[in-house]
Amino acid sequence: MNTPSKIGPNSIIQTVAALEAKFGKPKTETILKNIGQGHYIGNLPTEMIEESKFHALVTGLQKEIGDTNTSSILQASGERTARYLLKVRIPGIFQKFLKLLPPRPAFKLFLFAISKNAWTFAGSGEFSYTMTRPPEITVKVTYPTHPVVGNFYLGTFTILLQELVNPKTKIKSNIRQENKTIRCHYRCEI
């Protein structure tokens, strides 16, 4: 029997925070109850979670509040997650070093470092990057979910690359369903 893949708890924590920022606490609680996720009210995870829990939240939100609202919530959640990573997880000395490098070497080194821990956000999926011009990042989500999930990664990568590689970084996303996989492709103009 396969052990379920796990991802970081910020996927849930920051999504609930983004919901509260957009809708307020009472409406967020109503939304969570309506989609069968009321157990998160006052009880957010504190350690790695099974990826199925995040994808259940994404799918529930998409059905309850629609694609547009869910996309913006997930992008904000990704941005919040990036700020958490910058504050708590990515060593300050590494951040300072990256900022001293020109954008392309900084991108390459940063994405190389991310690839070593990609399972913490990709779960059972895949993470890759290329150094083409412009460089690209791909996340393949293999767990059944909705394509709006790609906005979570978009928010995360945008903030991280703007903070660590080049403040003018812009990302063009191409998120689409391919059979049972969601392919999240990001062209990074650094």
* 136: in domain: yes
Q: Which pLDDT value is given to residue 2? A: 74
Query: What local confidence, expressed as pLDDT, does residue 3 receive?
Result: 86
Residue 148 near residue 77, CB atoms below 8 Å: no
Helical residues (DSSP H) of the chain, grouped into ranges:
10-23, 25-34, 51-84, 92-100, 103-115, 119-122, 150-164
In a domain, 1, yes or no: no
Q: Residue 163 falls within a domain, yes or no?
A: yes
Q: How many structural domains comprise the chain?
A: 1
Residue 32 falls inside a structural domain: yes
* Chain segment 53-111, per-residue pLDDT in tens: 999 999 999 999 999 999 999 999 999 999 999 999 999 999 999 999 999 999 999 99
The pLDDT-based confidence of 1 (bands split at 50, 70, 90) is: low
Domain housing 126: 6-189
Residue 143 covered by a domain: yes
Residue 172 located in a structural domain:
yes
Q: pTM of the prediction? A: 0.96
- pLDDT for 67 equals 97
Report the CATH number at residue 141: 3.90.1520.10
- Residue 153: count other Cβ atoms within 10 Å of its Cβ: 25
- Would residue 62 count as lying in a domain? yes
